[in-house]
Amino acid sequence: MVRPSVFNIALLCALAALVAVQGMKKVTGECYLVCGDERGEASGVITVCLPAPQANCSICRFYENKCPDIQECSMKSKMTVDGRCRICDDEVCAYDEQALKVGDQVGSKCGSQECMCQKDGTLKCTQKEILFQWKLCHENV
């Protein structure tokens, strides 16, 4: 019997996200048209969306949310709240290959938001600049 590893679980999450994206209509560059509840939630994926001209639709780009490298911890290690990444005991969030402590700030993947790690393991983000569709869909971030 094969025991699930962090790598295997991350690979399955990435494949699930890829299957979900393949069912959507690509509109321009690296963006997809997402309508209604089609976007859903996928572990291991960073989703950035802008309103689309169509009612109840968004133009979204999906980025892989890689786990941080496993480092030796002076304390115990644990899994993140979503069960996706292993981090040191004093860290709470994992975002784009970074392990964060409560209050740590990081720029969003698209560059238009500043995000802060919350004690529940989520990121709270605030807009720092307007994100335009061309930048979202065509720039390599």
Cβ–Cβ under 8 Å, residues 66 and 53 = no
DSSP helix/strand/coil, 93: strand
What is the predicted pLDDT for the residue at 42?
62
**Backbone phi, then psi, for 57, in 5-degree steps?**
-130, 160
| Cα–Cα distance for residue pair 27/117, rounded to 1 Å | 32
Please give the model's pTM, rounded to 2 decimal places.
0.68
What is the predicted pLDDT for the residue at 117?
95
| Cα–Cα distance for residue pair 4/18, rounded to 1 Å | 20
Q: What is the pLDDT along the chain (141 residues), one digit of tens a residue?
A: 444 444 434 333 443 444 344 457 888 889 999 988 765 566 678 888 899 988 999 999 998 989 998 777 877 889 998 888 999 988 999 999 999 999 999 998 888 899 999 999 999 999 888 888 888 898 875
